[in-house]
Amino acid sequence: MLKPLVKFLCATALTSAVLAQDLFIASPPPYTILLAGSQVTVQLVDKSPHNRADVWIGIEYCKSGSQCPDVLQDPGQILYTGPYTPGHHEDADYAYQNMTVTIPSSWPSGLAQLGAVMIWGLGAGQDDAARVILDVVSSK
């Protein structure tokens, strides 16, 4: 189990350039309606995984579907931080990691951006981000 994984990590470490579209949120789909206070599974896919990264998942308000803050400048309210260790699963073509986050219970109704920011290991490359717009319904 460990040997193929080490080989895989060594091979991917040599692939230097990471394109932004290689990182994406496969789930929840855009404009998913979620109740404030509820949990959601964030499925983060990386088509060209690096050997070492941390991920931050944050949520922030949007003015409209096309006007959300730049998640790399401001990830918003952080819901999750931890290592990004995507795995290969039978139900997907690319390696992914599921992370469960909770939408804050006091979050107001409206469009919100869920953003995942990847922090590569020191010197391994530029930070990268993926985003999805959600439609949050206040629980009040």
Which spans of this chain sit near ligand NAG (rule: CB under 6 A)?
27, 41, 43, 89, 91, 98
Question: What's the length of the chain?
Answer: 140
Best CA proximity match to 96, nearest among 124, 130, 71, 69: 130
Best CA proximity match to 107, nearest among 13, 10, 24, 39: 39
Kindly state the smallest distance separating residue 59's Cβ from ligand NAG, in Å.
18
Kindly state the smallest distance separating residue 125's Cβ from ligand NAG, in Å.
26
CB nearer ligand NAG, residue 57 or residue 120? 57
> What are the φ and ψ backbone dihedral angles of 7, each rounded to 5 degrees?
-60, -45
| Closest residue by beta carbon to ligand NAG | 98
CB nearer ligand NAG, residue 72 or residue 133? 133
